[in-house]
Structure 1
Amino acid sequence: MKYQVKPMEEHEAIEYLQWRYPEPYTFYNVPAAGFAECLAEILAPDNGTDYYAVYRKGSYYGIFCFNYQSQDLELGLGIRPEECGKHHGRQFTLAAVDYIRRNLLFKGRIWLRVADFNERAQRSYEGAGFKPFDQQLAISWHGLTNFIHMELPET
């Protein structure tokens, strides 16, 4: 699958924040009360995280976000709700890693967080070479959630 990646624009951020996932993935739905805060964070030029819109076959397909932390890069991923569950997660994750390595020229450790209940995403990340290394309880929009931390070794 070929993806086109570009810096996220405001209209794409608005659309992304309105994506609605079915159970049990409603955890990823941004509540109306948090919409303005999330939009401001995505659009802030110096918030520490870079957001990218990802297109497939000319349609807005997903997002990548990158947050540099010392020698590491934290990766965030999202696929449109109607495209989830079609067994493209591994390939999408590999595309994000390829973009990081080729376009951002980042050779260090890449890591990500995934809610512990999201076994589907965990399998995709493991298929792309990520390995669990830690976990953390964190407060999210929906209460206390356990996140599995997964890493991809340096190249």
Structure 2
Amino acid sequence: MNIMPMNRVQAEEYVHWTYAEPYTFYTIPEEGIEETYKEIVTDPANHYFSVLKDGRLFGIFEYTVSANGFEIGLGICPQEIGKGNGRAFASNCLAFGRKHFNYQGVIKLDVVDFNQRAIHLYKQLEFSETGREARLSFGKTVTFIKMETERTDFVLSYE
């Protein structure tokens, strides 16, 4: 696998990923595609990376560095979810972020409250819940669980 800054072609592919139930929430609705694409390619506060496997877009890592801290986002392409890749993928996201940004502090993430599979994974990676927040996401009110970890021993298993 190869991790590289996301380019425009990869961003265009990513914003059109379509997930099946129960993960359709992660499919960017038509009215949000342009805004999300623009955020990826122009917003310097967000750092998007493509994770390539066999030359194709396997997943994405997103890092937001701000006065509020260091936050991650990640996603695996729809064809690869549910195949046992989550733990290694999330661990690599954490290890890559710490290495690339030379960051050893608290890492935060938000996960939708109905994604029990992801919540279970994050707890295995020693994330703990720090709060909940209902907010609007593409016209729907969704509850996000706020989580964080201080763990620093993640090892990058591919680059």
How does the TM-score come out when normalised to structure 1? Answer: 0.92
**Shift of residue 154, structure 1, vs aligned partner:** 5.8
Counterpart among 14, 17, 26 of residue 16 in structure 1: 14
Question: How far apart are the structure 1 equivalents of 2:31 and 2:70?
Answer: 29
Tell me, in whole angstroms, the C-alpha distance in 1 between the residues paired with 2:54 and 2:99. 21
1:28-80 deviation line (CA, Å, top 9, x unaligned)? 1111111111111111052x111110112433110000001226211000100
Q: Structure 1: which 5+ residue stretches go unaligned?
A: none
RMSD: 1.4
What is the rounded CA distance, in whole Å, between the counterparts of 1:40 and 1:103 in structure 2? 23
Structure 2 length normalisation: TM-score?
0.90
May I ask how many residue pairs the two structures share in their alignment?
152
Contact 1:112 1:151 in 2 (8 A): yes
2:31 alignment partner, one of 20, 30, 33? 33
Structure 2: gaps of 5 or more residues: 153-159
Structure 1 stretches of 4+ with a deviation exceeding 4 A read none
After TM superposition, list the pairs within 5 Å mapping 1:5-154 onto structure 2.
5-46=3-44, 48-70=45-67, 72-153=69-150
- Decide whether aligned partners of structure 1 residues 33 and 71 sit closer, same or farther in structure 2, where only a CA change above 3 A counts: closer
**What percentage of aligned pairs have identical amino acids?**
36
* C-alpha separation in 2, matches of 1:118 and 1:154: 22
Mapped to 2, the partners of 1:94 and 1:43 lie a distance apart of 25
